């Protein structure tokens, strides 16, 4: 398969125009989002959604997530990623397969209808995880484009995937909320350096290879600015796979947590890595392709 977005491999860092659409279809009267929201996603690369879930549903999400954090017995040990300097949990991967409540959340029609509309295709879960940024010593997530990593190390061919971050705790300006560079998704930044063998073992704790150079980042910020996205539990942030994003460390007493689902178009399924010798494990990049079947009822319906 032709590599439309070459990166790593020892080449110099470059910036090139995006070759793929952002929204894969035009707005229609029956669309699950407004024309204004579609335009914002297309131009800025992200969309913030409030009021999708009620208080009881949010409480159920929180209970499921924090139960896994408190007692991860039964969770595949390799899917639990620790902070780089201590034994605090940083992430738990493949949650849609390991936690029924999270699997149900990943299929919820209130999210998947929007994603399927924007990508104009059936979708599957490329990656899922719970992100925990503990108080006082939660480390940063440095600036990166997810697509650069998914392309280089997982074999995702084109930019036809969307991430959904569902806030489980308050994400304040102080405890390390998501930060984005609006409009950066319209440019592909290649990265320098060869991909190390089994790079995921280090990168999931602290990514260094596959991060953009400061000069390129500075140019993106000059063009689009910076925006942090604080919010309350239950808020959903959808963002394009190529949007440059990151988050600061957390030195407050208040932990920050979210559930994270990556929806990839069925037509964009992953293949051989473009810039790595071996693909990452399935718990990081799903190779069992199962289309998401949207579930329209309340998250509480099956437990009522």
Residue bearing the bigger pLDDT, 178 or 12: 178
pLDDT band at 206 (very low <50, low <70, confident <90, very high): low
- For 63-79, give the DSSP string: HHHHHHHH--TTS-GGG
Q: Which residue in 187, 210, 212 sits closest to 273, CA to CA?
A: 210
Q: What is the pTM of this model?
A: 0.94
Work out the burial of residue 32: count CB atoms within 10 Å of its CB; fewer than 13 is exposed, 13-18 middle, 19 or more buried. middle
Q: Which residues of 130-158 are buried (b: 16+ CB within 10 A; e: fewer)?
A: bbbbbeeebbebebbbbbbbbbbbbbbbb
Average pLDDT, the chain: 92
Per-residue confidence (pLDDT) for residue 304, from 0 to 100 = 39
3-state secondary structure of 118: helix
State what percent of residues in the chain have pLDDT above 90. 78
Residues 169, 179, 15: CA angle, nearest 5 degrees:
150
pLDDT tens, residue by residue, 86-103 = 778 889 999 999 999 999
- Partner residues linked to 92 by β-bridges: 80, 130
Structure tokens at 6: 């070459």
Per-residue confidence (pLDDT) for residue 1, from 0 to 100 = 77
Structure tokens at 223: 């063009």
Per-residue confidence (pLDDT) for residue 3, from 0 to 100 = 95
Q: Is the pLDDT of residue 200 over 60?
A: yes
Structure tokens at 130: 């719970």
Domains of the chain by residue range: 33-71+89-292
pLDDT band at 205 (very low <50, low <70, confident <90, very high): low
Q: For domain 33-71+89-292, give the CATH superfamily.
A: q2cbj1_9rhob like domain (2.60.120.620)
Per-residue confidence (pLDDT) for residue 53, from 0 to 100 = 97
pLDDT tens, residue by residue, 243-263 = 999 999 999 999 999 999 999
Per-residue confidence (pLDDT) for residue 202, from 0 to 100 = 65
């Amino acid at each position: 398969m032709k590599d439309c977005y070459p990166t790593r491999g020892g080449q110099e860092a470059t910036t090139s125009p995006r070759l793929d659409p952002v929204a894969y279809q035009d707005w229609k009267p029956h669309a699950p989002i407004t024309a204004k929201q579609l335009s914002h996603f297309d131009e800025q690369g992200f969309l913030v959604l409030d009021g999708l879930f009620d208080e009881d549903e949010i409480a159920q999400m929180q209970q499921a997530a924090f139960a896994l954090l408190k007692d991860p017995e039964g969770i595949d040990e390799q899917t639990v990623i620790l902070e780089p300097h201590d034994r605090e949990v940083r992430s738990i991967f493949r949650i849609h397969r390991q936690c029924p409540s999270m699997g149900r959340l990943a299929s919820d029609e209130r999210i998947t209808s929007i994603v399927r509309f924007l990508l104009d295709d059936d979708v599957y879960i490329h990656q899922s995880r719970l992100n925990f940024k503990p108080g006082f010593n939660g480390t940063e997530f440095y600036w990166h484009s997810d697509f650069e990593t998914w392309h280089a190390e997982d074999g995702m061919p084109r930019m036809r995937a969307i991430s959904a971050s569902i806030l489980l705790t308050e994400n304040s300006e102080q405890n390390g909320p998501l930060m984005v560079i609006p409009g950066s998704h319209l440019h592909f930044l290649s990265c320098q350096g060869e991909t190390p063998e089994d790079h995921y073992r280090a990168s999931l704790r602290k990514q260094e290879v596959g991060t953009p150079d400061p000069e390129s980042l500075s140019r993106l910020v000059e063009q689009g600015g910076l925006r942090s996205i604080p919010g309350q539990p239950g808020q959903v942030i959808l963002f394009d796979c190529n949007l440059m994003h990151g988050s600061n460390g957390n030195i407050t007493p208040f932990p920050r947590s979210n559930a994270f689902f990556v929806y990839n178009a069925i037509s964009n399924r992953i293949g051989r890595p473009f810039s790595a010798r071996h693909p990452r494990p399935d718990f990081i990049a799903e190779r069992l392709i199962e289309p998401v079947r949207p579930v329209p009822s309340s998250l509480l319906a099956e437990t009522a």
